[in-house]
Structure 1
Amino acid sequence: MKNTGRRVFLILMLSLAGIYAATAQYTETRKLRKAFKVTSETNIEISNKYGTIEVATWQKDSVAIEIKMYVEEKKMAKLEKSLDNIDFDFTNTTHYLVARTITDKNKSQLESELKRFKETLLQNDGSVEINYKVWLPATNSLKLENKFGDIYLSDYNGPLNIDLSNGKLKAHDLLKKATITLNFGGATINSLPDGNINSNYSDVYIKQSGKLNLSSKSSEIELIESQNLFGDSRRDKFRIRELQRIDLQADFSDFRISNLRERANLRLNYGDVEMEKIEANFNDIYIDCRSTDVNLYFTPQSNFNFEIKQTKSDVSLDPIFNVSEKTETDEKEQTVLMHGFFSKKSEGGDKLKLTTNGGSIRLRTY
């Protein structure tokens, strides 16, 4: 029995040793810190991969960059090769300060292409993490590029350009014009007075936005309070709480607007739009759509004229909408033109104009 027990113990220890050898990891951590003098005219660019970029501002005429790198591989030879292929390049001239991560320094073109292919599939046997912490003046022109990592930014008062893939942007008040490109990522911004956003397969949340030009695809957009929204959309979902003006072209997109204050100009195909509350003193609403469901809710205190041109559409109006004229303009296409007024006829032209082909129109009061 004693010999049997020893054999079982030995087999168990050998098995555990095999498991440990199979899961053993080789790691190395490195740190780098650089400082540069800059002027107010210096354009600052930071480009990174596989980690975070954290930006903090200070009242100095200099930039400090702290980089922390962590590499983990299953084999020592692979660890050494990974470390040899990672480098950091710094360029400092009168007008530019550029800091960038290089992750294929000693790789052939074929190896670089294979690496990019693996990145696309999000496959990597080892682990590489490269984190930047940057201190800089708050008003310089700043460009940030990051792949497979997040960007953190507090209040910033200079021109800003952000290119982010497979990561999230978290920013507070971006006080000057900002251009942001998102691919398979997300953005949470407190305030954006003047912005251009290109969003692909991403989630965007903005608490306050002024002038916002948006080009988006397969994204979810949530705006809490927005003044002017422009752009184009494809296969998106919009949730907007307070909106002053919107001018947008969209295909296969859905819109939920809690409150519209002034103006809407929408060209929609195969989508859905609902405005839960349209204020009494709105300026005008123009919607030209195809195979789209339109639901608009007006306050009984409103007073305006309207025009509806519909082709093969399902139209439903609350009794307060008075149709004064109804004409079939194209019998073959079943196109009907309606003129009327809400509550009572007003001076001037039509504040509400709807042109639809297919889909449905629901005009209601709240």
Structure 2
Amino acid sequence: MKTKIFKHGLLAAIAVLAISTTVAAQDSVLAPPAPPAAPKVYVYKNKALKQNMAGLKVKMKQLQKQMNKKNFKMNLDMDMNFAFKDLDKNFTENFKDFGKNFNESFKDFGKNFGEGFKDFGENFSGSFSDLAPNVSGSFSNMDGINFSNNFNDDEYKQKLASGQVTEKVKNYSKSYSADANDILQINNSFGKVVVNTWAKNEFKVDVQMKFGSEDEDFVNKMMEGSSISDSKSGSVVSFKTNLANIKGRHGNTHMEINYTIYMPAGNMLDLTNKFGSVTLPDLSGKTLLRVSYGTLNAQRLLNRDNDVKVNFGDANIVTFNGGKLYIGYGKLKAGTVSNVDANISFAGMTVDRLKNNVDVNIKYGNGFDIGAIDKSVRNLTINASFTKIKLDFKDADSFNFDVVTKFGGFNYDDDNMKVTTKTPGDEERGWSSTKTYKGYIGKNNSDGKIAINASYTDVKFY
């Protein structure tokens, strides 16, 4: 009997315990979550950021040294043909995945560094202004470049004067009549291209081919095997440089192929030049330009359908009146730019005045600096990452703006600009890596629209 009583008591105790446990569990689910603790790792994360940035800059410097030693030196101990014909291919191969790898390194940056960096946008964007390899500097003086293998300018001149080097010059000149619809096409490498305009309905091309070497046989073979081919097919008049394919080693060598062109200003120009500068006058015809490892110096490109691409070099343009513009691994300086679709990569863009409609994509460079926003601007769209943006609205009329920043900052003049919506708002607690600012300059609901989407970028309106 006692055993029975004991068992009933035990069962009752177990039942009570189970019920209380269930109630407690239910209470714990219904209870509101505790407020998140304030982060206490800011110092640690800032330190981690600095370490990561320092490590990245070291890697970039190492990459710069490798480029300077391996890719830009044209005095490699090999034959002329191999050194020059494969330089472009090898250099491009080395860089084809650079942007992809750079992005890959930072794809989890926001997740890893998160809430610890409320106010670092401005300083962070500045940290990336000098990360792009200084490629353009190596090709900034292409106007006077000496295309030599194991020669510098002074040494070449001394050996030429003393008779240790044989130099021979080959001249070429050809003219074609041209009507308003004809296109002039030029394809050159290792030399300067200078374009002049005239009133004649004619294309004229003068070329000077210059070869020098300590091996006279090599010079003779280059003279015999190199040529300029020309043709007219339909409306296209073309001129192309063809260099002799000389195998073997020939000691110290030098070569230049320089073009001087005369054409009407209104005809289309299709020009490709590698390892040399291009100089253009005012042109009203469409320009299709491909300049690599050299500088583009242009006056007014007045056509609204231009297509200009400069790789591994600088572009200086007085006026760009419309079309596509790409600058990679260099910098752009322009006077007036209007109606442009621009892509700037590992480069900086400085423009005195923007006009009409502008669409810019810029990443990894020294920034997008605009001296004046013209009253004619109706749509200005900027997508930017790892750079900085400065826009001057002193001469502007009225604009509505929509600025989105991710891990970046937005600075503006409170006197002239009104932010109507900020997300998250100032009253909201916590921190967000992404912030949105909507407002206007001058009058609200104007025809002028500015849209900026910026990651790891400081945006400044002034």
TM-score tier by shorter-chain length is 0.5 to 0.7
Conserved in 2, the CA contact under 8 Å of 1:234 and 1:250?
yes
- Per the TM alignment, residue 355 of structure 1 is displaced from its structure 2 partner at its CA by 6.3
In structure 2, what is the equivalent of residue 118 of structure 1?
none
Conserved in 1, the CA contact under 8 Å of 2:167 and 2:219?
yes
Conserved in 2, the CA contact under 8 Å of 1:264 and 1:285?
no
Decide whether aligned partners of structure 1 residues 222 and 81 sit closer, same or farther in structure 2, where only a CA change above 3 A counts: same
Unpaired runs of 5+ residues, structure 2, are 1-158
Amino acid at match of 1:206: I
Amino acid at match of 2:360: L
Q: Pick from 231, 241, 248: which aligns with 2:342?
A: 231
Conserved in 2, the CA contact under 8 Å of 1:272 and 1:294?
no
Structure 2 SS opposite 1:157? coil
Aligned counterparts of 2:181 and 2:212: Cα–Cα separation in 1: 40
In structure 2, what is the equivalent of residue 126 of structure 1?
253
In structure 1, what is the equivalent of residue 273 of structure 2?
164
Decide whether aligned partners of structure 1 residues 305 and 191 sit closer, same or farther in structure 2, where only a CA change above 3 A counts: same
Aligned counterparts of 1:257 and 1:181: Cα–Cα separation in 2: 25
Conserved in 2, the CA contact under 8 Å of 1:42 and 1:95?
yes
Please, which moves more after superposition, 25-34 or 168-177? 25-34
Decide whether aligned partners of structure 1 residues 221 and 290 sit closer, same or farther in structure 2, where only a CA change above 3 A counts: farther
* TM-score when normalising by structure 2: 0.54
In structure 1, what is the equivalent of residue 105 of structure 2?
none
In structure 1, what is the equivalent of residue 174 of structure 2?
34
1:45 aligns with 2:176: no
The structure with more helix, counted as a fraction of residues: 2
CA root-mean-square deviation? 3.9
In structure 1, what is the equivalent of residue 288 of structure 2?
179
Aligned counterparts of 1:293 and 1:264: Cα–Cα separation in 2: 19
Number of aligned positions between the proteins: 297
1:217 aligns with 2:357: no
Aligned counterparts of 2:318 and 2:224: Cα–Cα separation in 1: 44
Conserved in 2, the CA contact under 8 Å of 1:327 and 1:336?
no
Decide whether aligned partners of structure 1 residues 358 and 232 sit closer, same or farther in structure 2, where only a CA change above 3 A counts: closer
1:151-206: per-residue Cα shift (whole Å, max 9, x none)? xxxxx211222222222222221212222222222212221233222222221122
- Per the TM alignment, residue 127 of structure 1 is displaced from its structure 2 partner at its CA by 1.9
Please, which moves more after superposition, 169-178 or 91-100? 91-100
Unpaired runs of 5+ residues, structure 1, are 1-18, 116-122, 139-155, 311-324
1:192 aligns with 2:301: yes
- Per the TM alignment, residue 243 of structure 1 is displaced from its structure 2 partner at its CA by 1.6
Matches within 5 A, 1:240-255: 240-244=351-355, 245-253=357-365, 254-255=367-368
1:275 aligns with 2:394: no
Structure 1 SS opposite 2:398? coil
Matches within 5 A, 1:1-366: 24-93=164-233, 95-104=235-244, 107=246, 111=247, 125-136=252-263, 138=264, 156-193=265-302, 194=304, 195-244=306-355, 245-253=357-365, 254-261=367-374, 262=377, 263-279=379-395, 281-297=397-413, 300=415, 302=416, 306-309=420-423, 326=426, 328=428, 333=432, 346=444
- Per the TM alignment, residue 335 of structure 1 is displaced from its structure 2 partner at its CA by 5.9
Aligned counterparts of 2:261 and 2:457: Cα–Cα separation in 1: 52
Q: Which has the higher contact order (CA 8 A, sep 6+)?
A: 2
Amino acid at match of 2:167: T
Decide whether aligned partners of structure 1 residues 293 and 90 sit closer, same or farther in structure 2, where only a CA change above 3 A counts: same
Conserved in 2, the CA contact under 8 Å of 1:201 and 1:219?
yes
Identity over aligned pairs, percent: 13
- Per the TM alignment, residue 250 of structure 1 is displaced from its structure 2 partner at its CA by 2.1
Decide whether aligned partners of structure 1 residues 309 and 221 sit closer, same or farther in structure 2, where only a CA change above 3 A counts: farther
* TM-score when normalising by structure 1: 0.66
- Per the TM alignment, residue 91 of structure 1 is displaced from its structure 2 partner at its CA by 2.4
